[in-house]
Amino acid sequence: MAGGTFTARNKVRPGAYINFTSEAKPLGTVGERGRVLLPMELPFGPAGEAVKVTSDTDVRLTFGLESGDNALLTLREAAKRAGEVIVWRLGGGEKAAFSKDGLMITAKWPGSGGNELTVSVSGEAAPYTVEVKLKGRAVETFSAAEGSGVNSALVDISGVLSPSAGYALTGGSDGEITAEDWESFFTAAAVLDFNVLAIPFEESDIIAKAVKFTKEMREQEGRKIQAVVPDTEADYEGIISVKNGVILEDGTVISKTEAAAFAAGMTAGAGVNESCTYAVYDGAVDAYPRMKESEIIEALKAGHLVFTARGGKAVIEKDQNTLTSFSPEKGKAFSKNRVIRVLDMLAEDVQRIFEDYYLGKASNSADGRRLYQAELLAYLRQLSEISAIEEPVGEDVVVSAGSEPDIVIVELAVQPVDSMEKLYMTVTVR
């Protein structure tokens, strides 16, 4: 379904077109957040496709890696706050394999990680007990008489099985990530369902593509996503820039590039009524590098997200995006991520309500428009009840007929609620 912003009321495709400026139980409810899209360079796993990872996912069977493996660092950081991480493995390579006497065992996915797999077969007669081991530890066990009956998450087997202490797979290799891989990723990302895009890569051309992609999604496609990148002055409310990193409890240093994954998970997981200002970086004991107050102030003015040390922890100094050039259409409030979350959620929910319950179903009559106005007011009251916006009044939503019989014009006013961030106090000593 079409969507996005409008300059003139001349759209061709049916859909909900919504602009923002500074200025009964509902059918639609407040939508859910929490999905991060994370491109990764990995030594194993599905390549060039979206893989959903939740707290129930066994990464050993998905990526052929133990959960603590360094290759999964950005996934672990994103998953600290995100409800779901959509991993997209870039690149590929060659599959590891073993072949002997008509028996062929091939890693399910390409990459050097396949070289860590061995397959052992035990038993006096078929069906045998088959174990797939990762670095010597069994991760899959099943019974089979021959390869055609094997259903494994990690290997493909063909041929007749016979007892063996272990068939070791070799020859797996990693392919280089190319510009075509990134093009495929962004093409696929345009139709994936997520809230925040994490870019834990420092190459300027990749960051530029992410910025361009985010602007296109927000302004042309009506997809109110944000992207988190390292150290970039994009001057745009859809882009969050991470200026520095942190040190974890075990001494691991998380660079600003890697910390972009955590910031993306945190942003996606935050509610529309939450600010992440002074939110604690889970598992971190210090900022890295620490910044002087003058450097923090300079970074904040430039629109960066900064981690600072507070009482043996690392916290987010200010939950903001990179917008720094303010205008009557986009005031300073648009630089606050809490405000953007409210406006983005509102845009997506209003579009969803219109498409699910009114588009092609409700008459564009005075009664139909009154019904739609009441629906929108009921939705806004839901946002008000959770302190996402100030309480709406009737005149905050005006629904009128357009110049053509199928056009509905909505003028909607909201005042997002911000969080307390600055305290000015005068103490009088008597």
The pLDDT tens digits for 188-213 are 999 999 999 999 999 999 999 999 99
pLDDT tens per residue, range 103-134? 999 999 999 999 999 999 998 888 889 999 99
- pLDDT tens-place string over residues 28-53: 444 456 999 999 999 999 999 999 99
Amino acid 248: pLDDT:
97
Stretch 257-284: mean pLDDT, rounded?
95
Domain positions in the chain are: 2-30+356-412, 35-90+177-316, 93-174
Task: Tell the burial category of 242 from Cβ atoms under 10 Å away from its Cβ (0-12, 13-18, 19+).
Answer: buried
Residue 359 has pLDDT above 50, yes or no: yes
More confident residue, 246 or 55: 246
Largest CA distance in the chain: 95
- What is the mean predicted confidence (pLDDT) over 154-169? 90
> Greater confidence, 26 or 256?
256
Residues with Cβ within 8 Å of residue 229, at least 6 apart in sequence: 199, 207, 210, 211, 239, 240, 241, 242, 260
- Spatial separation of the C-alpha atoms in residues 376 and 417, rounded to whole Å: 18
> Confidence band (pLDDT; 50, 70, 90) for 160?
confident
Does 420 score more than 80 pLDDT? Answer: no
Predicted TM-score of the model (pTM): 0.87
Q: What percent of the chain has pLDDT over 70?
A: 89
CATH number for domain 93-174, candidates 3.40.50.150, 2.60.40.4290, 3.40.47.10, 3.40.50.1820: 2.60.40.4290
* Domain formed by 35-90+177-316, architecture: 2-Layer Sandwich (3.30)
Q: How far is CA 70 from CA 84, 229, 388, in A?
A: 20, 20, 38
pLDDT at residue number 8:
47
